[in-house]
Structure 1
Amino acid sequence: MLETILNYELYNGITVADLFDEEFLLSVLGSFAGALTLLIIGLFFAGWARRRIRRIPETYKRMDATLFNFLSNIARYAIIAFTVLFILNSFGVQTTSIAALIGAMGIAIGLALQGTLSNVAAGVMIILFRPFKVSDFVEVSGKMGTVKDISLNFTELSDLSNVQVIVPNSQVWGNIITNYSTNPKRRAEWVFGVSYDADLKLAEKVIRDTIMGDPRSLTDPEPFFQVNNLGDFSVDFLARAWVKSEDYFQYQADMKRNVKVALDQAGVEIPFPTQTLINHD
């Protein structure tokens, strides 16, 4: 009975008796040590390759860092997968059957995670077509902010209040994307109303000199200052001037205050809506 148990074949010619053989145990331990060494080397090389690919845009400034972050992750996972398959193959495991099993599991997981996979597909499209990149100021899916990270599943923004906003990529790619950082210049626009009794030439000069006197104002393209509307209570000037994109928001706010102060100092009245009540008694 004992001899029958000891001669029982466990796997690929290995019997129960072999488990008590010193040379066999040393051989198995050696194989495991070799496999562990290969795994450590594979993980090290995967991390090294990821870091090297991510640093490529630091050397070549014209290359997009977002794309290379994506490629570095693909390279890392590919090296790890190749290492695991190589180790399994060295132990005599049929990797073709494992690949088929992984494929079947992939189909099942794909059906269960359709929403997640749609985010991944959208992330790939964002990275390939690059409608925006990290550090751009954008508006996506109704959210506005600076792009901090683009992953396969989501896009991370930091809004104007420095609050983290996570937007699933499927909602980014499937909606209108407004990128405020693509063009180096933006046109700011204001409407300033003055009284009907005001000197229009003086008012226009004050508005023009105040805006164009700011060092952030650009002369190319040509700015625009002109009466645009005769309102119920005021004569409205339309003012347009160009500024660098990074200065736009603060510049637009500053000019509203500066023009108001300059018109007051020049004695140009800025009217406000009034109503006249007539009593016929």
Structure 2
Amino acid sequence: MQDGAQTTAAQGADKNLDMAVTFLEGLAEKAAAYLPSVVGALIVLIVGLWVAGRVKKLVAAGLGRSGRIDETLKGFLSSLVHYGLIALVLITTLGIFGVPTTSFAAIIGAAGLAIGLALQGTLGHVASGVMMLGFRPFDVGDYVEAAGVAGSVKHIGLFTTELATPDNKKIIVPNGKIFDDVITNYSGYATRRIDLIFGISYADDIDKAMTLIKSEVEKDSRVHADPEPVFEVDSLGDSSVNILCRVWMDRADYFGVKWALTKAVKQRFDADGVSIPFPCRSVYMENAA
């Protein structure tokens, strides 16, 4: 009895051993069949990720050499290319394993469309930010008016632009509103023109007043000689003869010249007896009968 039990146990152990060997052989055959695909996928993945990183650096370097591309836009575009190449590498890797990449690409496209529709407002601001950073309608430090607000540009981002008003209020404006509106860049050119109107009495000498204005303009070294200043009678008002003083200066001197000339001409008129009329109202009173 004991010998029979031992024989049965030995036969069972041999059977289990045969099953294990058979399983390992089958597993080895399957592994051998998939080994080229696995090795190829790993090679594609490693090389693809390396190439994506190198292309990102090359794109960033190329955009940096242009001199007109903002750092924010440079980083965004290079990252966009980088992640696009990574997605292509992953799809190629899955294709090596036999995954139907057409369906996978369709799923990614459908998901991208859904996300785009859900975030169309935000993505619109991003698109406007990319256009602004690329075409540069204004730079940081410029004084601009757009989307119903005005101020000095402090920061241009992909989503919003930060402005500071003359009294130092912080304004955050979505890029879509700025790019879809008329943009007035007061700092766009190196020089600016200012038109000052000085009203004199109808009884005063026009030529004398124009000579006094011209002499005060010539004293200010900030006023440009080219284009030449203009002094003309602009209009005949209800109570004054309005003389136009048109001068050019560097844009940084705009307000300084405006305030200085306004004060200087008023003081010169006072000193030389040229009057600046102001509105008067006459009141007639009738005695009751």
Q: TM-score, normalised by structure 2?
A: 0.69
Deviations 1:148-170 (A, max 9, x none): 33333222222222333221122
1:163-242 to structure 2, matched below 5 A, reads: 163-242=169-248
More displaced 10-residue stretch of structure 1: 104-113 or 260-269: 260-269
| Shift, 1:199, TM fit | 2.9
More displaced 10-residue stretch of structure 1: 132-141 or 168-177: 132-141
Q: Do the aligned residues in 1 keep the contact of 2:53 with 2:82 (CA within 8 Å)?
A: no
Q: Do the aligned residues in 1 keep the contact of 2:144 with 2:183 (CA within 8 Å)?
A: yes
Q: Do the aligned residues in 1 keep the contact of 2:201 with 2:275 (CA within 8 Å)?
A: yes
| Shift, 1:108, TM fit | 0.7
The residue aligned with 1:56 is 65
More displaced 10-residue stretch of structure 1: 158-167 or 81-90: 81-90
Q: Which amino acid is the alignment partner of residue 79 of structure 2?
A: R
| Shift, 1:85, TM fit | 6.4
| Shift, 1:89, TM fit | 6.8
- For the residue of structure 1 that corresponds to 2:74, the secondary structure is helix
Deviations 1:180-222 (A, max 9, x none): 2222222101111122232322211121121232111111112
In structure 2, C-alpha distance between the alignment counterparts of 1:159 and 1:47, rounded to whole Å? 38
| Shift, 1:117, TM fit | 2.0
Question: Once superposed, what is the RMSD of the aligned Cα atoms?
Answer: 3.9
1:31-180 to structure 2, matched below 5 A, reads: 52=61, 55-56=64-65, 63-66=67-70, 69-80=72-83, 82-83=85-86, 86=89, 99-180=105-186
Q: Which amino acid is the alignment partner of residue 224 of structure 1?
A: V
- For the residue of structure 1 that corresponds to 2:140, the secondary structure is coil
Higher helix fraction (1 or 2): 2
More displaced 10-residue stretch of structure 1: 173-182 or 95-104: 95-104
Deviations 1:42-92 (A, max 9, x none): 9997996687567536xxxxx3243x6413321134325545765797797
Q: Do the aligned residues in 2 keep the contact of 1:226 with 1:238 (CA within 8 Å)?
A: yes
In structure 2, C-alpha distance between the alignment counterparts of 1:74 and 1:200, rounded to whole Å? 62
In structure 2, C-alpha distance between the alignment counterparts of 1:122 and 1:133, rounded to whole Å? 15
Q: TM-score, normalised by structure 1?
A: 0.71
- For the residue of structure 1 that corresponds to 2:192, the secondary structure is strand
| Shift, 1:235, TM fit | 1.8
Unaligned 5+ runs, structure 1: 8-12, 15-30, 58-62
* % identity of equivalent residues: 37
Structure 1 residues 146 and 48, CA gap change in structure 2 (3 angstroms):
farther
Q: Which amino acid is the alignment partner of residue 263 of structure 1?
A: F
Unaligned 5+ runs, structure 2: 1-18, 24-29, 32-41
Q: Which amino acid is the alignment partner of residue 138 of structure 1?
A: V
The residue aligned with 2:8 is none
| Shift, 1:145, TM fit | 1.7
Larger Rg: 2
Q: Do the aligned residues in 2 keep the contact of 1:46 with 1:76 (CA within 8 Å)?
A: no
In structure 1, C-alpha distance between the alignment counterparts of 2:267 and 2:286, rounded to whole Å? 41
The residue aligned with 2:15 is none
Deviations 1:81-119 (A, max 9, x none): 545765797797757765444322211111111211222
Aligned residues: 252
The residue aligned with 1:23 is none
In structure 2, C-alpha distance between the alignment counterparts of 1:48 and 1:258, rounded to whole Å? 59
The residue aligned with 1:261 is 267
Aligned with 2:280 (options 271, 274, 277)? 274
Q: Do the aligned residues in 2 keep the contact of 1:49 with 1:72 (CA within 8 Å)?
A: no
